[in-house]
Amino acid sequence: MAAGFRSAALWVFAGNGRARRFYEAAGWRPDGEAVHEETGGVLVEELRYRRDLLE
């Protein structure tokens, strides 16, 4: 267990296919959580990815 943590989470832009493929190849998986935020007048969607650290 890494420093006592069982899992880790990160956020990635839904439209960033390259980053999503990178994280998925490294064992990260989307957990179904998403947020929509407006930044610079543009609405963006971010997806939360999780990975078990006990592997």
pLDDT in the model for residue 2: 55
Q: What is the pLDDT of residue 4?
A: 83
Residue 19 region by backbone torsions, left for phi larger than 0, else alpha for psi between -120 and 50, else beta: alpha
Cβ atoms of 54 and 6 within 8 Å: the answer is yes
pTM recorded for the entire structure:
0.83
pLDDT tens for the 55 residues of the chain, in order: 557 889 999 999 999 999 999 999 999 999 999 999 998 999 999 999 999 998 6
CA distances in angstroms from 45 to 16, 17, 32, 38, listed in the order given: 10, 13, 12, 9
Phi/psi for 47 (5° steps) reads -110, 140
Give the H or E element holding residue 23: helix 17-25
